[in-house]
Amino acid sequence: MSQSAPYRKSGFFNNKIMNPLLTRLGLAPSLTVRGRASGRRYTMPVLPLEYEGRRYLVAPRGNTHWARNLRAVGEGDLRLRVARSMAASWPRSSP
């Protein structure tokens, strides 16, 4: 089994002030994903990157909660701008 990158928790300022501000104003791309245990919808700013014509979501803080939720649930909504959105999915491996 491969070992994933450790999770580095962000601070109070980012979690309670900057992230909600960026997502509500549409100043940064955001991802909405359901919680893997609660089913609650969470929205947070993300860093989508394009490489060789494909789009990737990068979790710069390691194995973040949104990345774990996206893997478990298998889908989410990626909003690139205020008025434009697209579906994001995580490829599931078959047993």
Strand, coil or helix: 41: strand
Distance CA 19, CA 13 (A): 9
* pLDDT tens for each residue of 51-74: 999 988 888 888 888 999 999 999
**pTM: predicted TM-score of the whole model, two decimal places:** 0.72
In the chain, the amino acid numbered 13 is: F
What does the pLDDT look like over 6-44, one tens digit per residue?
Answer: 777 888 888 888 888 888 888 889 999 999 999 999 998
